[in-house]
Amino acid sequence: MPPAAKSSAPIQRPLWLAVDGWSVQILDQTRLPHVVKTLRLRTVDDAARAIVTMEVRGAPLIGVTAAYGIALAMRRDASDASLAAAYDQLIHTRPTAVNLRWALDQMRSLLQPLPKEKRTSAAYARAAELVEEDVATNRAIGEHGLKIFHDLLARKKSGEPLQVMTHCNAGRIATLDWGTATAPMYLAHAAGLPIHVWVSETRPRNQGAALTAWELGGRGVPHTLVTDSSCGHLIQRGLVDLVIVGADRVTARGDAANKIGTYLKALAARAHRVPFYVAFPGTTIDWTLRDGLAEIPIEQRNARELTHLTGLAGNGRPTEVRLAPEGTPARNDAFDVTPARLITGFITERGVCRASTAGLRRLFAR
């Protein structure tokens, strides 16, 4: 384990280069919202562990962390064997988010042709570029999503807030500075538009309750936490104007994998004709796959995430308690796939498109 450092500084980003100029600091997302703590990554093993344990999480941030993992590996040993080993270690950390593979491929194709002595500086420079590209991408997603918010608000009575529902955390700690699904929310709020966000708790790891509520609260965006199981009911009652979620992998025909429970929201939204949007960067598209249900690998996580709950105890200490009877068999699929036919549209950095091959191709060259 790398040593932990308590930070009192406001956290702007979930990952940044430390003042030593080579190690990488991350916000430990497993401790939020109760403890704001940073960790330092000094080796490729540290980077891989941070992804596996979900100290860093969210598709684009996983990719950026892996890119820095390669840079850390190159700093120790810039040989071909070290590059291959680091790639192999990092690619196996989490299976569903394709941004991981994209970022690793970027790094490998940049570094492989370079002489050894140039690899470390090139790796750090490219990882830093990926950070800045992610920020610009997310801002653009926000601008495109904001137009949708404006259109939907125009259909409401003046002064009534736009009721937005989201799932999990596709926010600024998963994807830099703006988030993807949250980017239009932040821009709308900053522009003084009336919005209110239904934050779905997102069992079993509760990234909605712990992370999205923390993020939106920190920026003053009006929101209410709800159970996952109440979302169909809220949609049915006309209390939701649109659903907007992130994605971990989108296939060439527009099927979208996202945190488990997304599919149920899409079904409810379709049944009640509520628009259902998926917001993601082009790096989340996996052009090699078509049928998301058959082809996207779904991460199976430890059953303990279901059988136990972690929270803040009365004594102010983070505590884990058992929920299910000891020995209860449990299955923990971490993601599901929403078929393209249930998705109203994609919000990307290049604009809004239909959830189809033609829609994606219109915006993204292969």
**Comparison of 174 and 347: residue with beta carbon closer to ligand MRU:** 174
Which positions from 213 through 252 interact with ligand MRU, judged by CB under 6 A? Answer: 246-248
- Least distance (Å) from ligand MRU to the CB of residue 259? 3
Out of 137, 175, 307, 344, the only residue in the binding site for ligand MRU (CB under 6 A) is 175
For residues 324 and 306, what is the distance between their CA atoms, to the nearest angstrom? 8
The one catalytic residue in 46, 248, 255, 336 is 248
Which positions from 184 through 213 interact with ligand MRU, judged by CB under 6 A? Answer: 207
Size of the site for ligand MRU (CB under 6 A): 17
* Piece in contact with ligand MRU (CB under 6 A), picked from 9-17, 103-111, 117-125, 166-174: 166-174
Q: Which helix (H) or strand (E) segment is 123 a member of?
A: helix 116-154
Decide if residue 180 touches ligand MRU (CB under 6 A).
Answer: yes
- Least distance (Å) from ligand MRU to the CB of residue 97? 6
- Going by C-alpha positions, the residue among 44, 10, 48 that lies closest to residue 27 is 10
The torsion angle over the Cα atoms of residues 217, 222, 226 and 230, rounded to 10 degrees, is -160
For residues 160 and 166, what is the distance between their CA atoms, to the nearest angstrom? 19
Out of 41, 64, 72, 174, the only residue in the binding site for ligand MRU (CB under 6 A) is 174
Helix axes 80-91, 99-111, angle to 10 degrees: 180
* Residue 227 φ then ψ, to 5°: -70, 155
**Comparison of 238 and 297: residue with beta carbon closer to ligand MRU:** 297
- Least distance (Å) from ligand MRU to the CB of residue 58? 4
* Residue 247 φ then ψ, to 5°: -155, 150
Decide if residue 352 touches ligand MRU (CB under 6 A).
Answer: no
Secondary structure E strands in the chain: 4-6, 15-17, 24-27, 37-41, 162-166, 195-200, 223-226, 242-245, 249-251, 256-259, 276-279, 285-286, 308-312, 318-322, 335-338, 345-348, 351-353
**Comparison of 141 and 268: residue with beta carbon closer to ligand MRU:** 141
For residues 339 and 291, what is the distance between their CA atoms, to the nearest angstrom? 9
- Least distance (Å) from ligand MRU to the CB of residue 358? 24
- Least distance (Å) from ligand MRU to the CB of residue 77? 29
Decide if residue 183 touches ligand MRU (CB under 6 A).
Answer: no
Residue nearest to ligand MRU (CB): 246
Which one-letter amino acid corresponds to residue 8?
S
248 is catalytic: yes
* Piece in contact with ligand MRU (CB under 6 A), picked from 79-87, 118-126, 173-181, 231-239: 173-181
Q: How far is CA 135 from CA 73, 138, 174, 191, 362, in A?
A: 25, 5, 11, 19, 23
Decide if residue 164 touches ligand MRU (CB under 6 A).
Answer: no
Tally of CB atoms within 10 A around 274: 22
**Comparison of 247 and 343: residue with beta carbon closer to ligand MRU:** 247
Decide if residue 75 touches ligand MRU (CB under 6 A).
Answer: no
For residues 67 and 105, what is the distance between their CA atoms, to the nearest angstrom? 9
Binding interface with ligand MRU (CB under 6 A): 57-60, 97, 168, 170, 174-175, 180, 207, 246-248, 258-259, 334
Active-site positions read 248
